[in-house]
């Protein structure tokens, strides 16, 4: 509302494209966010959108700068968990844990506190503290049977932490609980369960294509065998013809030459001074 009408419309269009593309094409969403940022960098919504687009493309330093700017403009702490996660992305899990213990966390709503707990557990795992990550995620929200938008992700993170800690049986139980709460398919809990159970999924379309490809192979082999048989028959016939020719030459043509070991090894040599036979040319 602080922008002129035409400029406000241009900025709004870019923000709409950021929201539409953020999940399916983060890089393109990032491009739209930069356009909006050039047009209206003093609008908090623009800084927030730019922050999420940078975060989605793993430009964590840029994202943190945009989130901090948005927080200064609005005075809210809603972005505190994602700011802490940016610290993790920049390789500073200790800083993320410090933010998890800051007073700002108490100002977050329930969903925000769950997000902060997820970030803190991730920071523990970044530091190789898998058992500590398990403890961090143990909370009333995890124990509750009620399903909220964050329930599936919380249970999934807990199962993943258990698996990293070597507690496979418990991990399988919590992956199953995550799958029960995952109404929108936000996790791959079903795939993780299949891996733990040793189940391999096969694409039915690929399998059908392989069967179709294999169906033509036997026919090709039969044709090849027929061709080989014909070739063998031709070869045998050719050999018989050659035998006939050799036999005819042996009967009425030139005498056969003895090529055995007992034959005189010098018998094939001609006398170079012998007079040529009549009827032959020099």
pLDDT digits (tens, 9 = 90+) for 99-151: 999 999 999 999 999 999 999 999 999 999 999 999 999 999 999 999 999 99
The least confident of 59-63, 89-93, 182-186, 250-254 is 250-254
CA torsion angle 233 236 238 244 (round to 10): -140
Minimal CA–CA distance to 121: which of 79, 165, 76? 165
What pLDDT, on the 0 to 100 scale, is given for residue 129?
Answer: 97
The least confident of 25-29, 31-35, 154-158, 228-232 is 228-232
Read off the pLDDT of each residue in 240-266 and give the average, rounded to a whole number: 45
What pLDDT, on the 0 to 100 scale, is given for residue 198?
Answer: 84
Note the pTM of the prediction, 2 decimals.
Answer: 0.69
The answer to whether 105 and 116 have CB atoms below 8 angstroms apart is yes
Q: Return the exposure string of 243-272: e unless at least 16 CB atoms fall within 10 Å of the residue's CB, then b.
A: eeeeeeeeeeeeeeeeeeeeeeeeeeeeee
Instruction: State how far the Cα of 159 lies from the Cα of 176, in Å rounded to an integer.
Output: 9
Burial level of 116, CB count in 10 A (0-12/13-18/19+)? Answer: buried
- pLDDT more than 90, % of the chain: 67
Instruction: State how far the Cα of 43 lies from the Cα of 12, in Å rounded to an integer.
Output: 11
Instruction: State how far the Cα of 97 lies from the Cα of 102, in Å rounded to an integer.
Output: 9
Q: What angle do CA 58, 64, 70 make, to 5 degrees?
A: 130
User: Is pLDDT of 215 > 80?
Assistant: no
Minimal CA–CA distance to 32: which of 5, 10, 65? 10
What pLDDT, on the 0 to 100 scale, is given for residue 199?
Answer: 78
- Tokens at residue 180, please? 């029960």
Better-scored residue on pLDDT, 124 or 199: 124
Distance of CA 279 to the CA centre of its chain: 86
Read off the pLDDT of each residue in 199-204 and give the average, rounded to a whole number: 65
The least confident of 65-79, 138-152, 213-227 is 213-227
What pLDDT, on the 0 to 100 scale, is given for residue 270?
Answer: 42
User: Is pLDDT of 265 > 90?
Assistant: no
What pLDDT, on the 0 to 100 scale, is given for residue 46?
Answer: 97
The answer to whether 31 and 54 have CB atoms below 8 angstroms apart is no
Instruction: State how far the Cα of 119 lies from the Cα of 136, in Å rounded to an integer.
Output: 10
User: Is pLDDT of 216 > 90?
Assistant: no
Better-scored residue on pLDDT, 192 or 263: 192
**Residues 173-189 pLDDT 10s:** 999 999 999 988 889 99
Task: Provide the 8-state DSSP code for 182.
Answer: -
């Amino acid at each position: 509302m602080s922008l002129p009408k035409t400029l406000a419309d241009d900025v709004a269009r870019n923000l709409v494209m950021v929201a539409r593309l953020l999940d399916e094409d983060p890089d393109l969403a990032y491009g739209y966010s930069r356009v909006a940022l050039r047009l209206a960098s003093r609008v908090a919504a623009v800084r927030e959108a730019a922050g999420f687009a940078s975060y989605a493309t793993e430009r964590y330093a840029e994202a943190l700068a945009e989130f901090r700017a948005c927080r200064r403009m609005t005075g809210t702490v809603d972005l505190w968990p994602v700011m802490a996660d940016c610290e993790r992305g920049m390789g500073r899990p200790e800083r993320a844990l410090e933010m998890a213990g800051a007073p700002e966390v108490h100002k977050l709503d329930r969903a925000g506190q769950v997000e902060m707990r997820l970030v803190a557990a991730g920071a523990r795992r970044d530091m190789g503290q898998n058992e500590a990550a398990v403890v961090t995620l143990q909370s009333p929200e995890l124990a509750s049977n009620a399903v909220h938008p964050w329930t599936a992700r919380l249970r999934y993170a807990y199962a993943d932490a258990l698996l990293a800690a070597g507690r496979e049986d418990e991990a399988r139980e919590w992956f199953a609980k995550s799958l029960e709460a995952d109404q929108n398919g936000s996790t791959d809990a079903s795939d993780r369960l299949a891996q733990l159970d040793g189940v391999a999924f096969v694409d039915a379309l690929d399998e059908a294509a392989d069967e179709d490809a294999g169906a033509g192979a036997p026919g090709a082999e039969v044709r090849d065998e027929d061709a080989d048989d014909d070739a063998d028959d031709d070869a045998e016939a050719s050999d018989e013809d050659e035998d006939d020719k050799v036999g005819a030459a042996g009967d009425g043509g030139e005498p056969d030459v003895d090529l055995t070991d007992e034959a005189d090894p010098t018998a094939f040599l001609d006398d170079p001074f012998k007079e040529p036979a009549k009827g032959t040319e020099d």
